[in-house]
Amino acid sequence: MPSAEALFERAPCGLVVTLEDGTILRSNHTFAEWIGFQAQQLLGQRFQNLLTMGGRIFHQTHWAPLMRMQGSVAEVKLDLLHRDGRLVTLLLNGIRREHEHGVCYELALFGLVERDRYERELLAARKRAEQLLAERSSAELALQQAKTELAVAYRQAQRRASFAEQMVAIASHDLKNPLTAIKMASGLLGRGERGAREQQLVDNIQVSCERAQRMIADLLDLASVRIGHGISIRRRPVVLHDLIAEGVAEWRVAFAQAQVRYLGRNRGTVIIDPDRLYQALGNLVANSATYGDLSYPITLTSDVSAAFTTFTVHNHGPVIPAPQIARLFEPMTRASERSAGVRSVGLGLFIVKEIVNAHGGEIAVHSCEAAGTTFTLRLPALPSTAPSEALAP
């Protein structure tokens, strides 16, 4: 076991004993070494003389009076002068003791190198945290401002889009009357005696009017969907085969360059909107005539069952790429870059999908090189749907 003397001399802190006036009676080796002296050299010196000028003032005005009045001080930070003139910062704890020979101050001093480093790191960490907090607050403020600006821009875009759609609807609606008048006039002109050139011009006017009327009808349907009204339908009982047979006869005239054939699996009465169904199937036939290989027929089929009424429109021709199928029924989307001029606004398939949705049905498309392209419409049957005998192709 080390002796008490050894423990005093090599204690991990500086130990000093002074008189009440600061005269050093004893100091350990640790303290002397910290300030660059031998312990014997400190004997008889006054402790306050080892302090900086600021330390001496603090000693005289604060901690010396505290020692006299309350008998102790704790954790007093002092700057002492090293023998070579540099500063040594120490933390002092002291106690005043009365002995038979007088009053002594027993001082314990602790080095602050590590503590100062820790405090500096702590202060730096605090400043960094405050800086990050300020940056976060600034970022949140900027984000909130961006959200506000985005919301304003979104509302403005919505208003502009709504206004544009309303203008399209109004313009399309207002164009119907003059187009009807032009069509009627061309029809009357076509009844008279005309030369081949004049008759061709009248026929061109009628075809153009019909095309414009179809485009206007599609634009009105698009505006109705965008405004939120959706495609309107009026259901009524219809003999499905008769309705489609009439449509096929008209499509064969309209698309004379194509072969349109119809296969009905079952005859039945269904409750649908016949005009909208005619429009949907006509759009699909037109799409097939535009993008399909016309050396093969366009085949339309129907099947009436107790649960569903199913329609397919099939054509041969270029394969529709899978990524394009995913957006095929969006407005202004085409199945191919090739167009024969039958449709010019790219709304045909969009209108088909909206008509199917209005009937509570679903639509799908399958396209491959071997089998061609098939659009399938499946409409749920209402209770009065009545399939009966099979219909021969």
Domain boundaries, the chain: 4-111, 118-227, 236-390
pLDDT given for residue 326 in this prediction: 80
Q: In what order do the strands lie in the sheet with 236-239?
A: 236-239, 266-272, 386-390
pLDDT given for residue 337 in this prediction: 53
Mean pLDDT by 10 residues, the chain (393 residues): 85 93 93 92 93 90 90 90 90 91 92 72 85 88 88 78 57 56 64 68 67 64 61 86 88 87 87 88 90 93 90 92 84 56 63 89 92 93 52 36
pLDDT given for residue 25 in this prediction: 94
pLDDT given for residue 226 in this prediction: 62
Torsion angle, CA of 96/98/104/106, rounded to 10 degrees?
A: -40
pLDDT given for residue 390 in this prediction: 38
Q: Which strand (E) or helix (H) includes residue 331?
A: none
Residue 88: partners with Cβ closer than 8 Å, 6 or more residues away: 34, 35, 79, 80, 81, 82
In whole angstroms, what is the distance from residue 18 CA to residue 188 CA?
A: 131
pLDDT given for residue 262 in this prediction: 93
In three-state secondary structure terms, 23 is: strand
CATH architecture of 236-390: 2-Layer Sandwich (3.30)
Q: Which strand (E) or helix (H) includes residue 194?
A: none
As a 3-state breakdown, the chain gives helix, strand, coil percent values, each rounded to 5, of 50, 25, 25
In whole angstroms, what is the distance from residue 93 CA to residue 85 CA?
A: 24
In whole angstroms, what is the distance from residue 162 CA to residue 156 CA?
A: 10
pLDDT given for residue 367 in this prediction: 92
pLDDT given for residue 389 in this prediction: 40
Asked whether the beta carbons of 342 and 286 are under 8 A apart, the reply is: yes
CATH architecture of 118-227: Orthogonal Bundle (1.10)
Asked whether the beta carbons of 38 and 58 are under 8 A apart, the reply is: no
Length of the chain counted residue by residue: 393
CATH number of 4-111: 3.30.450.20
**Domains 4-111 and 236-390 agree in fold:** no
pLDDT given for residue 193 in this prediction: 66
**pTM: predicted TM-score of the whole model, two decimal places:** 0.49
